[in-house]
Each structure stands twice: as structure tokens, then as C-alpha cells.
């Protein structure tokens, strides 16, 4: 059986590269050691090499590139068989939807040009048919469509909040709960979601290298529990021995929520706003194909928070 990561360059007798974009980010920086442990020949892409200096990446190449600069991607993708796409621009751009679209188009066409075998992308859960889907989640789905549209086999994983130390969405829950004994929260407190532990996300992403070539696929991934954001706050508080009171109000707008977040958490108000807008959308696994295809038994919320 031919796997995506098993074509060797006969001339060089070296395994092909796995390209890791977002290598300095939350997910990418945690996937890198797993790829290295597997013996993958990894090339990391970052806009600033200095961010990866000092790390013990002897067998790993680091290249500078920018997803908004297509020629830099053509160079970075040379000799690559599998490329992980973990980029999002929402922090840096006021018009992140357009920029994420351009970035994905650049990456997709450069990957096609360089005959990349497989793109592995981590996006967000959420129902495409939901007319109220937030611009952030719509954009995450659009990026997946663009990558698939390139003709390069694309494995898209869709996840809700990732539970792990350093995950932006988890840190938001943590900061809020640590700082505020009484929280006045909008209706998103009751939105259903299916958080997933970072270890389980990394397991899916690693095993994506071994999937037999069978065309592009979307896998919805989640932990063992469906809960609400309120439940997450309460469970984190319970484990920390904190007494917290949550008061739901129907009228706190995303803008007010983000300004409020900007005051009480390390996340900037702009990022908070994008995240908050997404919190009104249910993010629950509706297609269980991932559970059939991958030998992974994801942990539930209690265990994931305990580990985080």
C-alpha cells in the first residue's frame, strides 16, 4: 500500500520533506517533536527564523516564508510530500477573511506546482448550513475548500476548542475563571461544543501521514464529551477549587464581550471578538468517520482539563 509519506527521492536517497507551517504556533510547535520522533525529515516554515533558533532541531530545516508571498511558498514546498497547513491570520489582519483566502490560494497553487502529495489542514467545526456561522468559522471552512480545490489530496480536520496549556481558547477560559468570581456572560454560555485534548489532536494529525491515498476528506474530531462553554468554566473552577458564579444575560453583544475580554484576559480585544463571535455557533461532531478511520479514543473534558 502506498502511503503519502513513503515516496523516496531515488536520486538523493533521502526521505521527502514534511513541511510544517505554523511551526511557531500552538499546534505546530507541539506537532514538531512528534514528527521528529517518527523520523520525519521536517522543514518548518516561519516568517521569522529567529523564533525557532535555539531549539534543538538538528535534523530539521527551518525556512523563512510568508503565505501572502507565493514565491516563498514555491521554494518552501520543493521536495515536499506532505504539507501541514496550520496558518491563520486573524491576529494580524483587520481583513482576515480576505487574507486567509489569498494565503490558502497561494499555498494551494504552490503545492500543486511542486507536486505535493497531501495537505493536512486543521480548521474549525461548525455547520456550513448555519446562516449564522461566524466569519471566523466560515473562513476556516473556506480555507479547506480552497486547499481541496487545488487538486492536491487534502485531509481537513475540524476541531472545536482545543484543551491544552497555551491553547488560546483554553487560556481564555482559564483567565476568565481565575480572575472573575462572578461572570456576566452572554448566551454563548449555553452553546454546545465538543472540546478535544491537544494530545488527541496531535494523534490525529500524526496518523494522517499514514492514511492510504484515497482522495480529499474532511474529518470532524472531538473529545468524548459534548458540553457547553459554561460547563467548561465550571469544570475548570471545580478542579482549581474556585467558587464561581455565572450569570447569563441575553444582550451582551460580541463587541461588548470582546471589549470586556480585552480588559480581563491576555487575549487582545480583536482576537477575543473573533473567538467570541464563534462561540455562538454549536461546534459538535456530527460525522463520526474519524472514529472509524483512526485508532484513537479521545479523552473527555475532565481528563483534558486535568492534563492542561
Using CB under 6 A as the criterion, which residues of the chain lie in contact with ligand NAP when the complex forms?
21-22, 24-28, 46-48, 51, 66-68, 86-89, 122-124, 140, 159, 161-162, 167-169
Spatial separation of the C-alpha atoms in residues 95 and 68, rounded to whole Å: 13
Beta bridge partners of 162: 196
Half-sphere exposure at residue 102, Cβ-oriented, CA atoms within 13 angstroms: 12
Least distance to ligand NAP from the beta carbon of 127, Å?
15
Comparison of 202 and 253: residue with beta carbon closer to ligand NAP:
202
> Please, are residues 100 and 142 in contact by the beta-carbon 8 Å criterion?
yes
Spatial separation of the C-alpha atoms in residues 243 and 264, rounded to whole Å: 18
Select the residue whose beta carbon is closest to ligand NAP and give its number.
25
Comparison of 66 and 302: residue with beta carbon closer to ligand NAP:
66
Spatial separation of the C-alpha atoms in residues 23 and 42, rounded to whole Å: 10
Comparison of 3 and 217: residue with beta carbon closer to ligand NAP:
217
What secondary structure does DSSP assign to 186-237, as a single string? Answer: -GGGG-EE--EEHHHHHHHHHHGGGSBP---EEEE---S--EEHHHHHHHHH
What's the farthest any 2 CA atoms get from each other in the chain?
A: 65
Least distance to ligand NAP from the beta carbon of 113, Å?
18
Least distance to ligand NAP from the beta carbon of 102, Å?
10
Residue at grid coordinates 484515497: 214
Least distance to ligand NAP from the beta carbon of 14, Å?
25
Comparison of 21 and 177: residue with beta carbon closer to ligand NAP:
21
List the one residue out of 50, 84, 42 whose CA is nearest residue 67: 84
Comparison of 3 and 70: residue with beta carbon closer to ligand NAP:
70
Comparison of 46 and 154: residue with beta carbon closer to ligand NAP:
46
Pairing of strands 162-163, 17-21: unpaired
Least distance to ligand NAP from the beta carbon of 9, Å?
25
Least distance to ligand NAP from the beta carbon of 49, Å?
9
Amino acid at each position: 500500500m502506498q502511503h503519502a509519506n513513503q515516496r523516496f527521492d531515488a536520486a538523493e536517497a533521502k526521505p521527502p520533506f514534511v513541511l510544517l507551517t505554523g511551526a511557531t504556533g500552538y499546534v505546530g510547535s507541539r506537532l514538531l517533536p512528534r514528527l521528529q520522533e517518527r523520523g520525519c525529515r521536517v522543514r518548518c516554515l516561519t516568517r521569522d527564523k529567529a523564533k525557532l533558533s535555539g531549539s534543538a532541531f538538528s535534523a530539521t530545516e527551518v525556512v523563512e516564508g510568508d503565505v501572502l508571498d507565493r514565491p516563498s511558498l514555491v521554494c518552501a514546498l520543493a521536495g515536499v510530500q506532505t504539507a501541514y497547513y496550520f496558518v491563520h491570520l486573524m491576529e494580524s489582519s483587520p481583513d482576515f477573511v480576505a487574507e486567509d483566502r489569498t494565503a490558502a490560494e497561494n499555498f494551494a497553487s504552490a503545492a500543486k506546482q511542486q507536486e505535493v502529495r497531501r495537505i493536512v489542514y486543521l480548521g474549525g467545526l461548525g455547520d456550513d448550513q448555519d446562516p449564522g456561522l461566524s466569519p471566523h468559522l466560515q473562513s476556516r471552512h473556506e480555507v479547506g475548500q480552497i486547499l481541496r480545490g487545488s487538486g492536491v489530496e487534502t485531509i481537513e480536520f475540524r476541531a472545536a476548542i482545543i484543551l491544552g496549556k497555551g491553547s488560546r481558547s483554553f487560556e481564555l477560559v482559564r483567565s476568565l475563571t481565575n480572575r472573575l468570581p462572578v461572570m456576566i456572560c452572554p448566551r454563548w454560555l449555553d452553546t454546545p461544543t465538543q472540546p478535544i485534548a491537544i494530545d488527541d489532536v496531535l494523534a490525529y494529525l500524526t496518523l494522517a501521514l499514514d492514511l492510504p491515498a484515497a482522495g480529499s476528506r474532511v474529518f470532524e474530531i472531538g473529545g468524548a464529551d459534548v458540553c457547553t462553554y459554561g460547563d467548561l468554566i465550571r469544570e475548570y473552577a471545580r478542579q482549581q477549587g474556585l467558587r464561581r458564579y455565572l450569570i447569563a444575560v441575553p444582550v451582551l453583544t460580541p463587541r461588548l464581550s470582546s471589549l470586556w475580554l480585552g480588559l480581563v484576559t491576555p487575549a487582545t480585544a480583536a482576537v477575543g471578538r473573533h473567538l467570541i463571535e464563534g462561540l455562538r455557533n454549536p461546534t459538535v461532531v456530527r460525522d463520526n468517520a474519524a472514529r472509524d478511520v483512526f485508532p484513537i479514543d479521545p479523552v473527555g473534558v475532565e481528563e483534558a482539563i486535568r492534563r492542561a
